[in-house]
């Protein structure tokens, strides 16, 4: 662990990929106002390190080797409402950003964003403000201007669990159950169980219908009102 110097904000990194954690540490530790105080690769480690180190901000991914980033954000927000959390993920912001903000995240940024943008996002949430990309800000602004509620009870997508939403998006991208299981670090049986639940909640009869629905939803998610 790195001890924070006076005047530097202490950053906790939660990501299940060592190379990502290393890259973030290299980027952050050369900044004059930031320092990485610790890291974790899963939900359990994150909770333990959070209690031990008391960081000023947390960078967290949606998918973890064990546990779920959305659940972690929600629980941390309940326990540490003062702690800014920046979600840093490969998962499409059009699918996950609103859900993470609702769970208690302070911002959402994609992993393909340039380094200066990541640092700007980190400093923004540390200042107490919210961070989203310009494109995502426009999506949410359009929803507000159209008077769309944050969640619509009769929308079947709103009734999906966070994991079901992940599985739906992976099916829409064309991934098999085995590929989805590897990406989510769960068993194929678990993914198949989620597929059955998706068919039930979306009122679909066959796997072919689920695939067609998933592809259509994934392709059109950015234009949903």
User: What number is the average pLDDT over the span 116-122?
Assistant: 97
Q: What is the pLDDT of residue 214?
A: 94
Q: What is the pTM of this model?
A: 0.74
Question: Taking phi first (over 0 means left), then psi (-120 to 50 degrees means alpha), and beta for anything else, what does residue 57 get?
Answer: beta
Q: What is the pLDDT of residue 225?
A: 32
Where are the chain's structural domains?
9-143, 156-223
Kindly report which listed range (15-29, 75-89, 133-147, 177-191) carries the lowest average pLDDT score: 133-147
Cβ count within 10 A of residue 152: 11
How many Cα atoms are found within 13 Å in the side-chain-facing hemisphere of 113? 25
User: What number is the average pLDDT over the span 200-209?
Assistant: 95
Q: Hey, which CATH number is domain 156-223, 1.10.10.10, 1.10.150.530, 1.10.20.140, 3.40.50.720?
A: 1.10.10.10
Strand partners for 110: 89
Question: Which pLDDT tens digit goes with each residue over 11-45?
Answer: 999 999 999 999 999 999 999 999 999 999 998 99
Q: Is 9-143 a CATH 3.40.50.720 domain?
A: no
Exposure letters 189-210 (e unless 16+ CB within 10 A, then b): ebbeebbeebbeebebeeeeeb
Above 60 in pLDDT, residue 127?
yes
Q: What is the pLDDT of residue 221?
A: 55
Report the chain's mean pLDDT, rounded to a whole number.
88
């Amino acid at each position: 662990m790195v001890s924070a110097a006076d005047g530097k904000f202490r950053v906790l990194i939660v990501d299940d990929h060592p190379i990502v954690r290393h890259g973030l540490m290299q980027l952050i530790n050369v900044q004059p106002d930031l320092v990485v105080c610790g890291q974790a690769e899963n939900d359990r480690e994150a909770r333990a390190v959070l209690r031990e180190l008391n960081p000023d901000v947390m960078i967290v991914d949606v998918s973890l080797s064990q546990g779920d980033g959305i659940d972690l954000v929600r629980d941390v927000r309940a326990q540490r409402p003062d702690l800014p959390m920046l979600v840093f993920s490969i998962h499409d912001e059009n699918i996950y950003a609103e859900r993470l903000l609702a769970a208690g995240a302070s911002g959402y940024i994609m992993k393909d964003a340039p380094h200066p943008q990541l640092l700007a996002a980190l400093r923004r949430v540390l200042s107490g403000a919210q961070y989203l990309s310009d494109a995502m800000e426009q999506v949410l602004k359009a929803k507000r201007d159209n008077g769309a509620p944050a969640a619509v009870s009769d929308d079947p997508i709103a009734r999906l669990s966070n994991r079901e939403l992940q599985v739906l998006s992976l099916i829409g991208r064309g991934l098999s159950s085995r590929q989805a299981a590897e990406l989510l670090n769960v068993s194929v049986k678990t993914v198949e169980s989620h597929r059955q639940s998706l068919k039930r909640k979306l009122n679909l009869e066959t796997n072919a219908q689920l695939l067609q629905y998933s592809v259509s939803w994934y392709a059109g998610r950015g234009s949903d009102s």
